[in-house]
Structure formats: C-alpha cells, structure tokens
Amino acid sequence: MLSKLFYKLFNPEKYKDLKKEKQIRETVKIFEKKYKSYFDLLDEKIKKNKRISFLHSGHCGDIIFSLPVIKELSKTHECNLYIRVNKKMSLPYSKHPGKNVYIDDRMLNIFLPLLKTQKFIHSVKKYDNEEIDINFDLFRELPVNIIFNQARWFFHVSGVQVDLSEPYLDVDPHKKIVDKIVIHRTFRYRNQFINYKFLKKYKNLVFIGLKDEFEDLKKDVKNLIFYNCEDFLEMAQIIKASKFFIGNQSIAYPMAEAMKVPRILEGCPYFPVSQPIGKNAFDFYYQPHFEKWCELLNSK
C-alpha cells in the first residue's frame, strides 16, 4: 500500500503499470473461477452430443450474428435455439424498443417467424430452463473487451469459426416491395459526422423500422416513404428484394449482412462492432464516402 501511494505521488507512470497489472491478474482470477470449466468441457461436448442446444438473450441483432456458428454445427448436429426473454440490460439504451431488457415477449413474437424459416435450426423456442450446451450470453460476461466483430463474439464462446463472407440467413424476396433503396436507422449507434439529406435526389426510397425513427429521418429526406413490416420475416424479405440497403447497427443491418445483399453500413464511431464482409458491402464514417457508396450501388 505504501509503495503504491509512493508511486502514485512520485512516479505516475509506474503507478499506472502496477494498476494495469492488477487488473490483468483480476481478469485471470475471474476467468479461472467462473468460466474455465465451461471451455474445458465444450469441445468434448460438441464431439459426443448429436444434439446441441444454444441459449441467447438478445439483442435481436446479436442473435442474427450468432447464426453462423449454429449453421456450421448444424452440418453435423441437430441444433436447437432457446431465447430467454426479459433479461435486464446492464447499461441504459436510449429509445430501445425493449426498454430495459434485451428482448421482450413482443419482440420475440415478431422475431420467431424469421428464425423458424431457417432450415439449419431444428427448433427455436422461448427458453424455459432447458439444459444448455452453448451459452451465447457468456460474451457479455467474460472479462474481455468486446469491441471487435460481432459475429466473432460467438466464435470465441463456442470454439467454432466459419467463413463470414458466406450467407447465413435465407428468405424468399418480398413479392411486392422490390428494387427499392431500403433504409433502417435507429436512434442508437448513430454517426455524428454525417447526414442523409442528399438521398432526396434518389427515387424508390422506403424506410422500414419504427414510425418515430421514420418521422425523424423524413425531416431531411422528404420523399422517403414508410412501410410497417408485419414482423422480422417480412423485414428480411424486403431487404432481400432491395436494390441495396442502408442502415446503422440494429436489427436490419445484421439481416442485410447475413443475406449478403448489396449494403452500406453507417459506421458507429463509439462502438464499432459491425463490419461489412463480402462483395458489394461498404461502411462509412464520413459524408463524402457515404454519398460515394450510394452512387456506386445505385448505378449497378
């Protein structure tokens, strides 16, 4: 204690080093005590079991990004996904549709039709204390910094890695709303360096999402029209049938990324965990690049 106080007063750099070393030792202790046994047993469990059960508590976009692991394991296993509702968020999210939980019953009900169409998932249900093999929720608990690609969170929880340039969500295109520039922009994860005003020169713009999100964007893009999706399956079908998609980090962008449609991501400067992977996929932080990628995809 005296030495730390001495360094704090007279050698701040040494004090910072000591503090960092202590934090590292604490993360190792946490891992050894709470999580090491899970990882020690996981590979053997995957090898021995013919059925694999997964647990996820949301957000909805996070569930989409866990699908590559499930799809890969479905090649050799019967895969069952359980979704836990009403798990409280550790941090406040402004204007989150689930309010203070990651996913509520209403959100699950509009999500299930999409998940149930995925042939590689044997069953998907609301969690009711079933036995779980792979707990995707651990990515929020493990003592590591998670500011890296979202899909890879679940690689490290499961020990399974796949090629993210391949699609991992499959739906039929929408039959009526086709060849549109589809936009989804939430109040969360916005980029403060850009605006959408230039899009008013484009035709065939359609917004999918919440009405208040639409009304906010329409202030800048007067020719934007709103479509109220019945559920997330219809949302995915509209994105699948689009000319290209524009969105920020929320439920719709993960769908576009998972289906590998032409897409543009509004990069989030303070929590950049989504990155486009594959062809006809771009992200932007600054206005000239936003306009450049829109012109490119609109010309195709």
The reported pLDDT for the residue numbered 97 is: 86
Predicted structure pTM score: 0.93
The reported pLDDT for the residue numbered 93 is: 77
The structural domains of the chain, ordered by start, are 50-158 (3.40.50), 181-299 (3.40.50.2000)
d(CA 117, CA 124): 10
pLDDT tens digits for range 131-163: 999 999 999 999 999 999 999 999 999 999 999
pLDDT tens digits for range 34-75: 999 999 999 999 999 999 999 999 999 999 999 999 999 999
The residue with greater pLDDT, 96 or 224, is 224
pLDDT band at 16 (very low <50, low <70, confident <90, very high): confident
Residue whose token pair is 């866990």: 66
Check whether 25 has a pLDDT greater than 70. yes
Check whether 100 has a pLDDT greater than 70. yes
The reported pLDDT for the residue numbered 230 is: 98
pLDDT band at 28 (very low <50, low <70, confident <90, very high): very high
